[in-house]
């Protein structure tokens, strides 16, 4: 009876981990809503002109993201101190959210490691936990590689959020041209094998 109870607890832990992973994926998808850029669509140029700066990201750890409209942009151009302040705010946003993302991934790995180290965990569940750890670490490494490749295109910074079947990219820039989108999308397709409709590219200045 006690053995069955322990198995139920372990199964509940594994189910909880899947829920946490699903919630994290939903968070990165729902809270980073942008424009899907399909390079085969003829009116892409018109869509790119409608790209808006992100309003605010609902995470207390990173605070509020500053949206810069066209009127504010004019003032910034005439005020060097404002340009510097905006750049610092953007840098803080990217670094803090990257830390938050990596912290969540580390917690997920730790939870799976607890399942593996539990002597009462069945071999099947241990194998499953090991597979999940490998998957999380692979996603984390791939995010870092893609971020560096995007930055190498000339952007000040970038954030990449990967799930099993989708990718969201946030770049620090004032303008996001069709050429920029094509280059970023090419990187994502090569590194993830995702189709264009599963790739979201956004900007934050």
Domain of 119 in residue numbering reads as 2-204
Can you spell out the DSSP letters for 51-63?
A: ---------TTT-
Residue range 20-39: mean pLDDT, rounded: 43
The total of structural domains in the chain comes to 1
Report d(CA 88, CA 204) in Å as an integer.
13
Of the ranges 39-43, 65-69, 88-92, 109-113, the best mean pLDDT one = 109-113
- How distant is the alpha carbon of residue 184 from its chain centre? 14
Report d(CA 7, CA 24) in Å as an integer.
26
- Selection from 8, 2, 21, 14 nearest residue 126 by Cα: 14
Q: What is the pLDDT of residue 93?
A: 85
Q: How confident is the model at residue 7 (pLDDT cuts 50, 70, 90)?
A: low
Long-range contacts at 112-118 (CB < 8 A, ≥ 24 apart): 112/17, 112/136, 114/13, 115/10, 115/13, 115/14, 115/17, 118/10
H helices within 31-177, ranges in order? 44-48, 70-78, 80-117, 123-151
* pLDDT tens digits, one per residue of 76-118: 455 555 555 555 666 788 989 889 999 999 999 999 999 999 9
Q: What is the pLDDT of residue 92?
A: 82
Q: How confident is the model at residue 172 (pLDDT cuts 50, 70, 90)?
A: very high
Backbone angles phi, psi at 49, to 5 degrees: -70, -15
- Selection from 16, 54, 65 nearest residue 32 by Cα: 54
CATH number at residue 32: 1.10.287.4300
Lowest-pLDDT range, 8-22, 45-59, 122-136? 45-59
Sign of CA dihedral 40, 51, 62, 77: positive
Q: Residue 199's beta-bridge partner residues?
A: 167
Lowest-pLDDT range, 7-16, 148-157, 175-184, 191-200? 7-16
């Amino acid at each position: 009876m006690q053995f069955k109870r322990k198995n139920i607890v372990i199964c509940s832990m594994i189910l909880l981990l899947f829920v946490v992973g699903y919630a994290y994926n939903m968070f990165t998808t729902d809270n980073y809503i942008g424009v899907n850029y399909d390079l085969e669509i003829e009116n892409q140029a018109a869509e790119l002109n409608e790209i808006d700066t992100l309003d605010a990201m609902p995470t207390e750890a990173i605070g509020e993201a500053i949206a810069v409209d066209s009127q504010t942009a004019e003032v910034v151009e005439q005020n060097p101190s404002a340009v510097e302040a905006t750049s610092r705010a953007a840098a803080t946003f990217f670094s803090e959210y990257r830390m938050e993302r990596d912290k969540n991934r580390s917690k997920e790995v730790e939870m799976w490691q607890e399942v593996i180290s539990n002597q009462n965990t069945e071999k099947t569940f241990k194998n499953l936990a090991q597979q999940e750890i490998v998957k999380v670490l692979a996603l984390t490494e791939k995010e870092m590689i893609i971020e560096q490749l995007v930055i190498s295109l000339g952007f000040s910074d970038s954030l990449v959020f990967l799930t099993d079947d989708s990718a969201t990219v946030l770049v620090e820039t004032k303008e996001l041209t069709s050429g920029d989108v094509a280059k970023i999308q090419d990187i994502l397709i090569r590194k993830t094998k995702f189709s264009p409709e599963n790739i979201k590219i956004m900007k934050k200045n």
